Amino acid sequence: MVGRPVRLDPHVHTRDSYDGHEPVELLLEHASEIGLDGIVVTDHDAIDASLHAAELAPDYGLLGIPGVEVSTAAGHLLALGVEECPASGRPLDETVDEVEALGGAAVVPHPFQRSRHGVSKRRLVGVDPDAIEVYNSMLFTGYRNRRAETFARRRNIARVAGSDAHYLPNVGRAYTEVDLDVGSGGVASIPADAIVEAIRDGATGVRGRRTPIPESARHYAVGAARKTTYAFTSRAPFVPTWPASGGET
């Protein structure tokens, strides 16, 4: 495996997310079968499944990296490489600082997609994340991905891609190539902090293809219904505002 980039899908959900469906073990098995080197489980404001996935990953020949998708006051933020969940509902810049203090990489996912709690351009300007997700496979037209790509390039911010998978077949539809030397110990021996450092340094490449549109539409509709139910039956950090259908426009 020496001589090629590490293939990592840094944005995957399990059934611990209100809109997720799959168990950790099945996601890891699938990731290994399709040729990924690792995934980061990034459930919404919950990290237990991700810690479990990172612990089990070497058993599947994968590198283990924990993470979480944090609900900030401005929108969602991926915290990659952290072992505890930052508090939800706080300002974006403060959450970015906390993620970095915890040893993680702060990545803005699906920016400008307000129907999915993406951070708006107005609220992203002036903030210094470690990276921006410029390709998210859960898209309709690709317009927001292109805007994210332009925004990141103009500001020299590292770029990553993620599947945002909530169903097993979508894992790896988009992934990040991380420029690292695998070494004699193989992929599973790569420490999480090496991945974090490479992302911060911008040593990444973007690969991806979109999730089929009917499936994306179904996800938005089901996710909105699940989130509404979740908000009324638990102590959710905030009440959803997205419509029952939508996505990129």
CA distance linking residue 21 with residue 6, whole number of Å: 26
| Mean of all residue pLDDT scores within the chain | 85
The pLDDT value recorded for residue 207 is 92
pLDDT at 243 over 60: no
pLDDT at 144 over 50: yes
The pLDDT value recorded for residue 236 is 41
- Domain boundary assignment for the chain: 6-233
CA distance linking residue 6 with residue 36, whole number of Å: 8
pLDDT in tens, 34-59: 999 999 999 999 999 999 999 999 99
Between residues 4 and 98, which one has the greater pLDDT?
Answer: 98
Least confident of 73-87, 89-103, 108-122, 218-232: 218-232
The pLDDT value recorded for residue 216 is 46
Least confident of 8-17, 89-98, 133-142, 154-163: 133-142
Between residues 113 and 241, which one has the greater pLDDT?
Answer: 113
Q: Closest Cα partner for 132 from 105, 112, 152? A: 152
The pLDDT value recorded for residue 86 is 97
Distance, first Cα to last Cα, the chain: 40
Q: Which residues contact 60 (CB under 8 A, 6 or more apart)?
A: 28, 29, 31, 32
Tokens 């911008």, located at residue: 202
Least confident of 19-23, 40-44, 51-55, 130-134: 19-23
- Protein fold of 6-233: TIM Barrel (3.20.20)
With contact defined as beta carbons under 8 Å apart, do 10 and 198 qualify? Answer: no
The pLDDT value recorded for residue 46 is 96
The pLDDT value recorded for residue 140 is 56
- Interior/surface letters 28-38, b for 16+ CB within 10 angstroms, e for the rest: bbbbbeeebbb
Least confident of 43-47, 105-109, 170-174, 221-225: 221-225
The pLDDT value recorded for residue 210 is 57
What percent of the chain stands above pLDDT 70?
81
Q: Which residues contact 85 (CB under 8 A, 6 or more apart)?
A: 45, 46, 47, 68, 70, 79
Looking only at the bridges linking them, the beta strands covering 105-108 and 76-80 are: antiparallel
CA distance linking residue 184 with residue 196, whole number of Å: 20
pLDDT in tens, 213-235: 444 444 444 444 444 443 444 44
